[in-house]
Amino acid sequence: MFRSRHRLKVLIVASILVGWLLVVNLFGADLKLLNKFWKADMEVRVNGLVCSICAAGLKKSFEKHTSVEGVKIDIKKSIMLIDFSTGKDGRILFIKNKDVIKMVDKTGYEVESIKILANRKPNRYNKP
């Protein structure tokens, strides 16, 4: 009897943890906590990004690109954070702004602004 209750509790805790990790990974639900462990190289403000299903489509389209390592989306702020891979020389392999705009346009959204977070220091918003 004791073993089955203990297994049930462990199963419940594990399922809650896995569910939280999936939500954070797919939709960027808790970006403040996540940003302590994950640093973005580019921040893109996207007009009209209001639902998680649409955000998943946008995320999939960017993850197909060879120089993109990760994408996190905050629906509340309409922000997409992109982490790029680094080259052999240690430089970040950015996607050009015009290519980012084309990729966002293909998914049916509009880019409001693009911010490069190179060297982990925020700079001003650049109009596309």
Q: Does the pLDDT of residue 116 top 60, yes or no?
A: yes
Which residues have C-beta within 8 Å of that of residue 52, sequence separation ≥ 6? 26, 27, 75
The domain segmentation of the chain, as residue ranges, is 2-120
Q: How far apart are the C-alpha atoms of 110 and 102, rounded to whole Å?
A: 9
What sign results for the dihedral spanned by CA atoms 103, 107, 110, 116?
negative
Give me the chain's average pLDDT, please: 78
Question: Considering only the top CATH level, what class is 2-120?
Answer: alpha beta
Q: How far apart are the C-alpha atoms of 13 and 81, rounded to whole Å?
A: 29
- pLDDT tens per residue across span 70-92: 898 888 888 999 988 888 887 88
Strand partners, 36: none
- pTM for this structure? 0.63
Q: How far apart are the C-alpha atoms of 21 and 126, rounded to whole Å?
A: 32
Helix (H, G, I), strand (E, B) or coil at 77: coil
Show the tokens assigned to 67: 């120089």
Q: Does the pLDDT of residue 121 top 50, yes or no?
A: no
User: Nearest to residue 110, comparing CAs of 41, 51, 45, 27?
Assistant: 45
Does 93 or 99 have the greater pLDDT score?
99
How does strand 79-84 pair with strand 110-116? unpaired
- pLDDT tens per residue across span 55-72: 888 888 898 888 888 898
